[in-house]
Amino acid sequence: MWWRSWPAGALIADELAADALALVRAKCLFALEVHAGQRPDPYHDHAATRYAQRALQPPPRAHRAPPGAAAYANSSLTLIAKPGSSGD
C-alpha cells in the first residue's frame, strides 16, 4: 500500500480541532515551500507559525462606498459660482 513508504508521522489525522488542523496544514505548506526552495532555509517553527497565522487571517473588509456614490464616480461635475461670489 502507498502509505507504507511514508515515514511515521507523515500523515495528518483529522482528529484535531478544525482551527488546530488548519494551523498544522498551513505550517506543513510552509515546510514544503522551504524544502522546494521557495522560502529561505532552514525551517524555523516560529516563522512557520507566523506564516500560518497570516494565511489563516480573514481577508480585510473591503471599504464600501455609500449608496449612490457610484453614480458620481463616473460623472463630470461642473461647478457654478453663486452670483456675487468671486468665483475663485
- Does residue 65 sit within a domain? no
Determine the pLDDT at residue 31: 92
Determine the pLDDT at residue 3: 43
pTM for the whole structure: 0.52
pLDDT tens track of the chain, all 88 residues? 344 445 555 565 557 788 888 999 999 999 999 999 999 888 999 999 999 999 888 888 777 766 666 555 555 555 566 666 665 5
Determine the pLDDT at residue 2: 42
- Does residue 81 sit within a domain? no
Determine the pLDDT at residue 16: 74
Give the domain range for residue 54: 9-58
Phi-psi region of 9 (alpha: psi -120 to 50; beta: other; left: phi over 0): left
Inter-residue contact 41 to 34 (CB < 8 Å): yes
Q: Quote the number of domains for the chain.
A: 1
Going 30 to 35 to 41 to 43, the CA torsion angle's sign is: positive
